[in-house]
């Protein structure tokens, strides 16, 4: 296949999710001319939106929350001029309704971290006195995790222990786990605390608490996900002479431990650097030719398990929710987002989110909708009189990679193939499969590509 590129590119980026777009933007900042090749017509990968055929509304493929400690993501949004498309809380504040239907709010005062979190938990009336005081038992482990983040050698958690075991070992009561740590772990790791490895959770806590009081604050997208970053990134890249090609599945052809070309249905591209920013499960079919040098990476990617997220979107007639979002600890639907309050005009649905949702794989959509409606009606009085006019289910079966102990190792940006670099949330960043992991991996791959192969 003959190269079709009209002008030479310095780099080809495959995949237009957070990892690929942040890699492309960083490469352009370093002076490169880039072509981004994306298989789907819509940009954004696992953080995107689609138009609901019945209502015409943009619906996210799943509600995404960022945290104040997502420093490289927020810097990326700054660079592409999209920082105003998210709202950052001044300090962590979340409304909850527990399994018994009792509403409460965790509101962290404006104190230096981690005092703000301790202050918030001590004042939280969802917890008994014993549960509130138990938070102090975790302080030594959190200190260790923060020291580890700064390069300290002692480990805050062992790779073989689960989040649940780690919390119990560190004196966290059942009520404090159910109300605070489990919802946080399920949201951040997309895996049950009973199966996820503890070091990922201690790392998340360290990242949140090392970044000041706002590090643990919630950052909410104010527009559908593709508009939040993917389309602004495309516009930024194209206005600087780079190109974004959507609807173009790519293959990386490897020959003699070098990239020969990137082939697409539209033709072939060559460049000194190729950043493959696809999800772990897409890597094995991305590479072809003499792929033996990549065997270790490809086998590990193929052997990595996935964890699912299921979202039920409801269009209702009736009252808005009391808060734009509310946590429902201990239920299958862990969070409800009132998109009318978050996105404003143009949105009229609620998003009911179930993370770590592999157990819903075998349930029909009707059964999932029924369960979700029952749970939110039980928890939220304002839902009870609402008429549901439409519902849909979005299943992301491979939302994130598994963080269970014993999963295959995660690769680094550099590969044994000259000119080929890897990005994606699953690259070894130390973080769970999150937007921030994707962006950090994208930046790292771009920097490695600029330096070239050793
Ligand atoms: C429902 C849901 C909710 C989530 N909630 C949160 C949250 O609240 N907070 C958070 O931080 N994270 C959340 N995540 C995780 C977050 O979405 C991901 O970590 C992040 O989007 C991964 O970005 P990525 O660029 O690494 O991969 P992807 O987004 O998967 O991008 C890879 C891209 O590569 C493309 N591609 C694949 N193969 C090829 C090929 N051969 N040629 C060309 N292109 C190809 C794909 O089409 C895709 O666009 C959630 C994920 C889901 C699914």
Is the same domain home to 58 and 118? no
Residue 276 falls within a domain, yes or no? yes
| Pairing label, strands 250-255, 287-289 | parallel
Backbone φ/ψ region at 56: left (φ over 0), alpha (ψ -120 to 50), beta: left
Is residue 279 a part of any domain in this protein? yes
Among 169, 192, 216, identify where a domain stops. Answer: 216
CB-defined site of ligand 1, < 6 Å: 14-20, 37-40, 45-47, 61-62, 64-66, 249-250, 277-279, 282, 286, 309, 396, 399-400, 424-425, 433-436, 438
Report if residue 96 sits inside a domain.
Answer: no
pLDDT band per the 50, 70, 90 thresholds, residue 344: confident
276 with 419, same domain: the answer is yes
CA of 352 to the centre of ligand 1 (A): 20
Residues 287, 408, single domain; the answer is: yes
How would you label 419-447 residue by residue, b for 16+ Cβ within 10 Å and e otherwise?
A: bbbbbbbbbebebbbbbbbbbbbbbbbbe
Where is the domain boundary, 197, 216, 235? 216
Domain extent at residue 270: 11-49+224-304+404-451
Query: Is the whole-model pTM more than 0.95?
Result: yes
Q: Final residue of a domain: which of 216, 237, 269? A: 216
pLDDT at 6: 57
**379: buried, middle or exposed (CB in 10 Å: 19+, 13-18, 0-12)?**
buried
Mean pLDDT of 304-331: 93
Confidence of residue 322 (pLDDT cuts 50, 70, 90): confident
CATH code for position 441:
3.50.50.60
1 band by pLDDT with thresholds 50, 70 and 90? very low
Band of pLDDT at residue 61, cut at 50, 70 and 90: very high
212 plus 111 within the same structural domain = yes
Among 72, 263, 279, residue to substitute to test ligand 1 (most atoms within 8 Å of Cβ): 279
Residues 143, 210: one domain? yes
Inter-residue contact 307 to 191 (CB < 8 Å): yes
Q: How many domains, the chain?
A: 3
Q: Is residue 333 part of a domain?
A: yes
Instruction: Answer whether residue 138 is part of any domain.
Output: yes
Instruction: Report the separation in Å between the CA atom of 122 and the middle of ligand 1, taken as the mean of its atom positions.
Output: 37
Whether residue 362 is contained in a domain is answered as yes
243 part of a folded domain = yes
Q: Are residues 119 and 211 in the same domain?
A: yes
Same domain, 271 and 419: yes
CATH number for the domain harbouring residue 321: 3.90.660.10
């Amino acid at each position: 296949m003959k190269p079709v590129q009209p002008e030479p590119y310095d780099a080809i980026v495959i995949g237009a999710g957070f990892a690929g777009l942040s890699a492309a933007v960083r490469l352009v900042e370093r002076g490169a001319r880039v072509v981004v090749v994306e298989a789907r017509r819509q940009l954004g990968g696992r953080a995107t939106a689609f138009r609901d055929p019945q209502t015409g509304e943009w619906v996210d493929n799943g509600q995404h929350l960022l945290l104040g400690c997502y420093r490289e993501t927020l810097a990326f949004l700054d660079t592409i001029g999209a920082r105003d498309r998210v709202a950052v809380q001044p300090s962590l504040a979340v409304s909850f309704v527990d399994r018994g239907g009792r509403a409460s709010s965790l509101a962290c005062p404006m104190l230096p971290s981690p005092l703000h979190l301790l202050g918030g938990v001590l004042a939280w009336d969802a917890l008994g006195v014993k549960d509130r005081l138990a938070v102090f038992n975790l302080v030594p482990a959190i200190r260790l995790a923060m020291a580890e983040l700064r390069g300290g050698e002692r480990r805050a958690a062992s790779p073989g222990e689960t989040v649940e075991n780690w919390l119990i070992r560190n004196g966290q009561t059942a009520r404090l786990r159910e109300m605070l740590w489990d919802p946080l772990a399920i949201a951040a790791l997309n895996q049950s605390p009973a199966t996820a490895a503890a070091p990922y959770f201690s790392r998340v806590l360290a990242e949140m608490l090392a970044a000041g009081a706002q590090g643990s604050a919630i950052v909410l997208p104010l527009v559908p996900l593709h508009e939040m970053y993917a389309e602004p990134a495309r516009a930024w890249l194209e206005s600087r002479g780079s190109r974004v090609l959507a609807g173009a599945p790519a293959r990386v052809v490897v020959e003699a431990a070098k990239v020969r070309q990137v082939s697409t249905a539209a033709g072939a591209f060559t460049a000194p650097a190729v950043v493959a920013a696809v999800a772990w499960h897409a890597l094995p079919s991305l590479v072809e030719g003499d792929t033996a040098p990549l065997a270790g990476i490809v086998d590990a990617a193929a052997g990595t398990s996935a964890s699912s997220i299921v979202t039920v979107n409801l269009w209702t007639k009736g009252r808005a929710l009391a808060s734009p979002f509310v946590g429902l600890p201990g239920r299958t639907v862990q969070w409800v987002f009132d998109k009318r309050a978050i996105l404003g005009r143009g949105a009229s649905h609620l998003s009911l989110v179930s993370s770590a949702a592999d157990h819903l794989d075998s349930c029909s959509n009707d059964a999932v909708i029924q369960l979700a409606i029952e749970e939110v009606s039980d928890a939220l009085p304002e839902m009870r009189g609402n008429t549901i006019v439409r519902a849909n289910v979005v299943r992301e079966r491979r939302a994130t990679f598994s963080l269970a102990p014993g999963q295959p190792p995660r690769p680094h940006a550099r590969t044994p193939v000259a000119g080929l670099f890897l990005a994606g949330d699953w690259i070894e960043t130390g973080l769970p499969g999150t937007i921030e992991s994707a962006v950090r991996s994208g930046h790292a791959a771009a920097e490695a590509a600029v330096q070239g192969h050793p």
